[in-house]
A = this chain, B = another copy of it.
Amino acid sequence: MKLADLVQLPTEWLRGTGPMNDVVISSRIRLARNLAGMPFLTRCSDEQQREIETRLRNDIRQAHLAEEVLYVDIPSTDELDRELLVERHLISRQHAEGDEPRGVAFSSNEGLAIMVNEEDHLRVQVLRSGLELDGAIDEIARVEALLEDRMTFAFHRRYGYLTACPTNVGTGLRISVMLHLPALKMTGEIEKVFRAARDMRLAIRGLYGEGTEATGDFFQISNQTTLGKDEKQIVEDFRTEMLPNIIDYERKARQVMLAERDIDIDDKVDRALAVLHAAKLINSEEMMYLLSLVRLGVWVNRCDEMDIPTVNKLFLLTQPAHLQKMHKRVMEPRERAQARATYIRECLEAT
């Protein structure tokens, strides 16, 4: 497998299956780990940073974490390919922006990704479609064990795993779920979810993590702190209370809208579909907004024309880097808007 093969392929987190997929797009668990005996990256010399990258690249290769694992060396990767990795959630935007020795290893189904020399020496991520935290936790434990066979992680008896940023010290674990909450957004009740999440020390972010705005009714909810004796309880509460409550809340909001304001749903969904068919220029933000409405329409049985795999395909493949890779050239925003509209129209006409 090569990086170029990714462009037209779906990705694990957008497979559109898995439990609670009507509300939960994907589940993500990540571990932050650092090598014992090496300084954190903020304190590394260039030489040390290179040494860490080389060691980890080899260790990961030899650990046989999955049937096929691709390693991408970031400094030798052009801007467009880096952006492609960001759009596929394989690396963070921060990771894409540096030219120090760094890389990312990922399995061919993209369910597993390991960033080398992002904020920590290692950032292991497991992504699953739908709500699949148990499966994701088992998988990340398996990967961690295989890695630990080959390396020793920085660990403190009292604090736990040591990380570059204090907020990750302890388990180094972060759980995130990507939720699609269009009905709560429409009714304005989403504010209540935000308040409850804050009370539970959960963070709510946009589609691409820290510092990104929630677009098209997609929200990423994650635990914020990983240190302290309540850590396990917080994660457990998140999984067993907070999350089921939000899912239930969104589902009820959809049912209430269907019962009381079904014309509004039809109006929004049918307009979105019509615009996807008719538009000659669509920017990314509008695309997410339109697909969010269509996704809602599919789930409440008010959209015969589309299905979730098509929505997800359009969602991923019409992102800026994907579009440009598909056209094999760098494109200005206006040109992308046109290519995006054309691609969407062709997809819709083909189905």
Contacts and interface: CB of A to CB of B under 8 A. Distances in A.
A288 B114 CA distance: 54
Contact of A263 (B267, B271, B277, B280): B280
A36 interface: no
Interface string A261-287: 001101100110111011111000000
Contact of A275 (B266, B275, B338): B275
Contacts of A341: 267
Contacts of A277: 274
A274 B273 CA distance: 9
B280 A338 contact: no
How many copies are assembled? 2
Interface in A135-167: none
A280 B265 CA distance: 9
Nearest to A264: B281
B266 A270 contact: no
Contacts of A264: 280-281
A13 B14 CA distance: 55
A76 to B, nearest CB: 37
Interface string A239-278: 0000000000000000000000001101100110111011
Contacts of A338: 263
B281 A263 contact: yes
Nearest to A277: B274
A155 B187 CA distance: 63
Nearest to A263: B280
A274 B271 CA distance: 8
A270 B270 CA distance: 15
B279 A271 contact: yes
Nearest to A341: B267
Contacts of A270: 278-280
Interface of A: 263-264, 266-267, 270-271, 273-275, 277-281, 338, 341
Given A266-B280, A267-B281, 12 more contacts: A263-B338, A264-B281, A267-B279, A267-B280, A267-B341, A270-B280, A271-B278, A273-B278, A274-B274, A274-B278, A274-B279, A275-B275
